[in-house]
């Protein structure tokens, strides 16, 4: 098919989202290489992301452009190719998040460099959605999120708390300092564990390089923030059984997770290849099924639009720090990371993705659980 016909096909799709090729508005696409049209039509979101990394197109406001694409459901109008179909089939046959593969995301994403995350994140290095209800900046939003979790659990002095997927220890350190609890945090990232241990010096906090399936001890409360997105649907039940096994009978389990509007078994192919290998977003149905018969659902809180603000703050910090990071990471990484942050912001803005905090008890809170917002 000729380049003109391919361009016309792409423009017809983009018209549905009010986006122009080589237009003058911030969300319009500037085409640098016309091979873009065939690549996007044949490879969908993977082709769109990779062609941006390769410099084939630019856009002044990628988040606005993708927000329009998501709201117009353009991804449903571009047919999947055979490679993507094979990935979907493979995910159904194989357990992509088994213990052998579980550390892949730690090595490929979280171990790429603490300097990047220190520059991009807030001062506590919370790599999850902040709570912007009464906050005006990223630091305050992340502190509000951490305090919200502590309040929802009803933490009291002397409690022992488990953090599954503790990152750089932002929650464990905050809870230990403000609420006088002792914490155990586990991660599968060597870089995270090393820095988290350093940050926790002098606090009643133990950081372990450990898979969640190896846990077998009792805690007053358990939290897991931004971890189950890496667990995989084949392991949701096991994950919940681990939480149930390690939680005291009168304790609470708070799950903080990105969620999808429908049940899936894979993730976006570009995200899977370049950002979060073997990841996927759980749905309400998948989560409910996973804890059925194990937990009572006490509270389900959605504040997904706060993730848009969080991601845009991370992008601002990343841009500001780039002159100091450029030599180490290179221009192609910059375009990849920018596309990652802004595409995720657009997805939350379009309400394609959700952000849930779910509070679970083993036997139901006597007298009822008081929801905290």
By annotation, the residues acting in catalysis are: 344
**CA atoms of 345 and 283, how far apart (whole Å):** 19
Radius of gyration of the chain (CA): 21
DSSP secondary structure letter of residue 265: S
Residues 363, 249 contacting (CB under 8 angstroms): yes
Q: Which residues pair with 361 in a beta bridge?
A: 252, 296
Extended strands (E) in 81-194: 160-164, 182-187
Cα separation values, 13 from 33, 45, 225, Å: 18, 14, 37
Other CB atoms within a 10 A radius of the CB of residue 62 amount to 23
CA 187 to the chain's CA centroid? 15
Element (DSSP H or E) covering residue 212: none
**Comparing C-alpha atoms, which of 164, 82, 158, 123 is closest to residue 317?**
123
Residues 343, 292 contacting (CB under 8 angstroms): no
**CA atoms of 166 and 225, how far apart (whole Å):** 7
Q: Helix or strand or coil: residue 117? A: helix
In this structure, are strands 182-187 and 205-209 parallel, antiparallel, or unpaired?
A: parallel
**CA atoms of 315 and 345, how far apart (whole Å):** 10
- Residues whose CB is less than 8 angstroms from the CB of residue 160 and which lie 6 or more positions away in sequence, other chains included: 181, 182, 183, 184, 219, 220
Other CB atoms within a 10 A radius of the CB of residue 125 amount to 20
**CA atoms of 56 and 34, how far apart (whole Å):** 8
Q: Hey, what's the torsion of the CAs at 241, 242, 248, 254, to 10 degrees?
A: -90
């Amino acid at each position: 098919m000729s380049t003109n016909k391919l361009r016309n096909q792409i423009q017809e799709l983009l018209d549905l989202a009010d986006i122009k090729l080589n237009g003058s508005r911030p969300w319009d696409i500037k085409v640098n290489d016309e091979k873009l049209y065939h690549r996007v039509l044949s490879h969908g979101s993977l082709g769109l992301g990779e062609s941006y990394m390769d410099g084939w197109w630019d856009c002044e406001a990628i988040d606005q452009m993708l927000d329009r694409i998501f709201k117009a459901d353009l991804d449903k109008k571009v047919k999947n190719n055979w490679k993507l179909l094979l990935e979907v089939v493979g995910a159904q046959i194989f357990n992509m998040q088994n213990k052998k593969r579980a550390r892949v995301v730690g090595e490929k994403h979280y171990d790429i460099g603490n300097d990047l995350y220190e520059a991009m994140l807030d001062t506590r290095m919370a790599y999850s959605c902040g709570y912007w209800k009464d906050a005006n900046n990223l630091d305050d939003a992340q502190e509000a999120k951490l305090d919200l979790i502590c309040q929802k659990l009803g933490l009291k002095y002397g409690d022992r708390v488990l953090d599954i997927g503790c990152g750089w220890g932002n929650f464990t350190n905050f809870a230990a300092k403000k609420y006088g609890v002792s914490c155990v945090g586990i991660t599968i990232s060597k870089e995270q564990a090393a820095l988290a241990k350093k940050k926790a010096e002098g606090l009643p906090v133990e950081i372990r390089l450990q898979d969640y399936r190896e846990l077998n001890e009792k805690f007053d409360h358990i939290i897991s923030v931004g971890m189950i997105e890496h667990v995989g649907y084949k392991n949701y039940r096991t994950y919940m059984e681990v939480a149930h096994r390690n939680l005291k009978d009168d304790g609470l389990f708070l799950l903080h997770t990105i969620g999808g509007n429908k049940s899936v078994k894979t993730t976006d192919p570009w995200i899977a290849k370049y950002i979060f290998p073997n990841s996927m977003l759980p749905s309400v149905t998948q989560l409910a099924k996973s804890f059925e018969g194990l937990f009572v659902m006490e509270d389900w809180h959605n504040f997904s639009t706060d993730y848009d603000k969080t991601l845009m703050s991370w992008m601002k910090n990343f841009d500001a720090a780039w002159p100091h990071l450029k030599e180490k990471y290179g221009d192609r990484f910059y375009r990849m990371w920018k596309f990652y942050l802004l595409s995720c912001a657009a997805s939350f803005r379009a309400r394609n993705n959700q952000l849930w905090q779910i509070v679970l008890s083993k036997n139901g809170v006597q007298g009822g659980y008081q929801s905290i917002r």
